[in-house]
Structure formats: C-alpha cells, structure tokens
Amino acid sequence: MEYNTTREMMFIPEYGRNIQRMIQYTCTVEDREKRNKAAKFIINVMAELHPTVKESGDFKHKLWDHLFIISEFKLDVDAPYPPPPPLSLSTKPEHLSYHDKEIEFKHYGKNIALMIERATEYEDGAEKDALIKAIANHMKKSYLNWNRESVNDELIEKHLSVLSKDQLKLNQDFRFTHTNDILAQNQKRKPFRQGPDRNFNKQQQSHPKQNFNNPRGRNKPQ
C-alpha cells in the first residue's frame, strides 16, 4: 500500500494530486499545440474544482499562476498571462508600520480620537455643538460595549476633555442618552435567531394537549 507520506510533495494541495499529475504530464507533451490545449483544459478543471475562485476579480490570472507554480515553472505554453517570477514566492512581504500614536482609551477606539481631533478644528457654533453631542453619546455607547455593569456620565465627559485636551466642552443643558435606551437599541440590532426550543414551544401552543389516558380524545363521563 502506498501512503501519502511516501509520495512526492504537492505544491498546492487544494487542487489534489490528480491535477498535479495532469500538469506534469502536460510538461512532457512535445507538440506545442497539444500542450496549449491540455493547459487550457486543466485550467477549466481547476476552476470547476474551486468555484469560489470565480468570485475574485481576475480569477483566470490566479489559476494560470497556480498552473505554473504546480509545474515548478517548467510548463512552456502560450498563456494569456506571464508566469509569476519564482523569486516572488520566497520573498517576504514588506513590513507594515504600526501607528506611532498611543490610544489613551482603547475601549473608545482610534476613530473616536480622530473625530475629536477633527471637531476641535470646527468654529464655535451650532454645528460644532451638535458634533460634540454626537461624539459624547457615541463614547458612552462604546463604553457600554466594553463594560455594561456601570457607566458614569461624568466620567465620559472627563474622558472627552482629556482626549480633546480641554478644547471640547459640553453645554450645561446637555443630557446624555439614557443607558437603558442605548442598551435597548443595541438589543434591537442583534440578529434574531429562532432556536429549536422556541419552535417547540410554538408547537405546544398551536396544538391542544393530548389526553394520554384517552388517546382518541373522547371525554370520559363525569
């Protein structure tokens, strides 16, 4: 019996060993026209094996790249796309630099800090006041997502002052959205999933209770 551990390595296991053997055989075909037809046939088979690859923008280019990779770049055919350079498979991607700004209150997120920074550039007026109110309520909502047990409006106002470096102030007549209202809105946005227990309860309500002492449903004489 032959085990997979004793067989040759598969370059892209998702396509299976038969696809790899077909590609290896195509590399040995001397007639170029037949070799081109065989390569196009293999591309169609690869697309059928993985229909989800068609969801990508240029999926045919991806399939041809995989074809050359599986052939170890030995396949010489008239492809509609140039083969990828072999060195591109071994090179490491460029290092992505992380932001150098430290987030002071991580439960609010970086977008809140950017919104506050943008709000400080507004001129005083109704538009700036409306933006500050929206930011403050959004901060409370974000805080409740992080900690639902307790939330203090004075604490949110203090955090707003810290993040804005004392440049944003709430009006004295401002009132935060009530905690219960925010939690109710979050509950409404959650997708409703009907479980088996709920279906069972509905079935019990829609059908009368059975009289197991009298299976035919006849009433016993009083």
Average per-residue pLDDT in the chain? 80
Both 136 and 80 in one domain: the answer is no
Task: Out of 86, 119, 135, pick the residue that ends a domain.
Answer: 86
Q: Quote the domain boundaries for residue 70.
A: 7-86
Torsion sign over Cα 51, 52, 54, 58: negative
Tokens (6 digits) for 85: 């350079």
| pLDDT of 99 | 63
Residue, of 210 and 6, whose pLDDT is higher: 6
Domain count, the chain: 2
Q: Write out pLDDT tens, residues 48-73.
A: 998 887 777 789 999 999 999 999 99
Does 175 reside within a domain? yes
Both 82 and 114 in one domain: the answer is no
Tell which residue, 142, 137, 164, has the closest CA to residue 153.
137
Residue, of 119 and 212, whose pLDDT is higher: 119
| pLDDT of 88 | 73
Q: Write out pLDDT tens, residues 106-147.
A: 778 788 888 898 999 998 888 989 999 999 988 888 888 777
Does 222 reside within a domain? no
Does 91 reside within a domain? no
Quickly list DSSP for the chain: ---GGGSPPPSSGGG-HHHHHHHHHHHH---HHHHHHHHHHHHHHHHHH-GGGGGSTTHHHHHHHHHHHHTTT------SSPPPPGGGGTSPPPPPPPP-SPPSSTTT-HHHHHHHHHHTTSPSSHHHHHHHHHHHHHHHHHHHHH--S---HHHHHHHHHHHTTT-----TT--PPPHHHHHHHHHHHSPP---HHHHHHHHHHHSPPP-TTSTT-PPPP-
Please tell me the distance from the alpha carbon of residue 89 to that of residue 71, in angstroms, as a whole number: 14
Tokens (6 digits) for 150: 């307790």
Average pLDDT over residues 188-195: 55
Both 81 and 17 in one domain: the answer is yes
Please tell me the distance from the alpha carbon of residue 169 to that of residue 64, in angstroms, as a whole number: 59
Does 36 reside within a domain? yes
Neighbours of 29 (CB within 10 A): 16
What pTM, to 2 d.p., does this model score?
0.44
Does 48 reside within a domain? yes
Contact 164, 120 (CB under 8 A): yes
Both 82 and 147 in one domain: the answer is no
Average pLDDT over residues 207-216: 47
Average pLDDT over residues 186-211: 51
